[in-house]
């Protein structure tokens, strides 16, 4: 079945935001973008959770969106995070992204204020009607404190501007319900669930581990799409310990930034309230990366 956001099928990478001495390091960000383009990644997703968007100023948020779009220069799709728990702020960011030339907008469920299901619907409706680029509904109850119920997403699918769902509920039944009732493109929001979700109709992943092993994630997706289930399983089981042992060390993006630092691709600098891994956790991370073959 054709899905309305299938141009974003494959690997999208939730980019980190590199910092140096407290400021956004745009030179290092550009290097990250080139790394992903060389790997064959489908889409870049800056200024999401992994990009520490809660600690960026409004001006920085806009500047990073613009910088990534300009550096991408049409060579790779860009779907920046433009969500907020304020519809007014989400509208401003989403309009900015559209004006700057983004290919889509990744919009997290409004967090902290826990809207009703009607509130979720009205929030995404306002965004979808304000811009001409596709909207990806990012459903992550673990961060937002409330689930966008499948019935609400199915209702949102009636809006032409809603095209994708980043599925991070961990609930396969919910994903099945959305896939069964809509033509939305579903992307996994959990690296360890990419293959299980693709087995029921998802078309890829918005990945954290893709920051360091994009080619391996692409290989998994390609194997599944080619009908080579044995190879897809092999790739899944190779990636699974990395996803579990690295991302399970601490809150995202703490472990991925530490890993990128070990690999010489990031300063490892975070903004409070995010703090670095402990020495014991760093040792565990080094062991995980070594076991995977990265160190």
Give per-residue pLDDT as tens, 127-140: 999 999 999 999 99
pLDDT at 229: 97
Angstrom distance (rounded) from CA 281 to CA 94: 37
Token couple for 166: 């980043």
77 is known as an active-site residue: no
Q: Is the pLDDT of residue 98 over 90?
A: yes
What percent of the chain is modeled with pLDDT above 70?
100
- pLDDT over 90 percentage in the chain: 99
| pLDDT at residue 228 in the model | 98
Given the residues 138, 146, 257, 292, select the one marked as catalytic: 138
CA dihedral (143, 145, 150, 153) positive or negative: negative
Domains and CATH numbers, the chain: 6-226 (3.20.20.70)
> What is the chain's mean pLDDT, rounded?
98
- pLDDT value, residue 1: 76
Q: Judge whether 166 counts as a catalytic residue.
A: yes
In this prediction, residue 197 carries a pLDDT of 98
From the list 77, 146, 166, 257, the catalytic residue is 166
pLDDT in tens, 103-119: 999 999 999 999 999 99
Residue 184 has pLDDT above 80, yes or no: yes
Determine the average pLDDT of the residues in 196-202. Answer: 98
In whole angstroms, what is the distance from residue 294 CA to residue 292 CA? 6
Does the pTM surpass 0.85? The reply is yes
Rounded average pLDDT over 61-77: 98
């Amino acid at each position: 079945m054709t899905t309305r956001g299938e141009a974003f099928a494959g690997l999208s990478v939730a980019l980190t935001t590199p910092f140096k001495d407290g400021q956004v390091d745009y030179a290092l960000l550009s290097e990250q973008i080139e790394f992903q383009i060389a790997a064959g990644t489908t889409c870049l997703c800056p200024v999401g959770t992994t990009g520490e968007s809660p600690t960026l100023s409004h001006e920085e948020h806009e500047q990073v969106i613009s910088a990534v779009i300009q550096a991408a220069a049409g060579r790779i799709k860009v779907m920046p995070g433009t969500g907020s728990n304020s519809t007014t702020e989400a509208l401003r960011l989403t309009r900015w992204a559209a004006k700057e030339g983004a290919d889509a907008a990744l919009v997290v469920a409004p967090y902290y204020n826990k809207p009703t299901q009607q509130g979720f619907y009205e929030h995404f409706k306002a965004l979808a009607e304000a811009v001409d680029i596709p909207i990806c509904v990012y459903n992550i109850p673990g961060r937002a404190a409330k689930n966008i119920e499948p019935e609400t997403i199915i209702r949102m699918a009636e809006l032409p501007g809603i095209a994708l769902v980043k599925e991070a509920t961990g609930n396969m039944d919910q994903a099945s319900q959305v896939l069964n009732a809509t033509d939305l493109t579903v992307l996994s929001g959990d690296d360890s669930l990419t293959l299980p979700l693709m087995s029921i109709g998802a078309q890829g992943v918005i990945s954290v581990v893709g920051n360091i092993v994009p080619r391996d994630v692409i290989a998994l997706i390609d194997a599944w799409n080619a009908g080579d289930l044995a190879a897809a399983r092999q790739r899944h089981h190779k990636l699974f310990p990395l996803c579990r042992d690295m991302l399970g060390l601490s809150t995202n993006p703490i472990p991925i930034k530490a890993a990128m630092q070990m690999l010489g691709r990031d300063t490892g600098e975070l903004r409070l309230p995010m703090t670095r891994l402990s020495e014991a956790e760093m040792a565990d991370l080094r062991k995980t990366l070594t076991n995977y073959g990265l160190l």
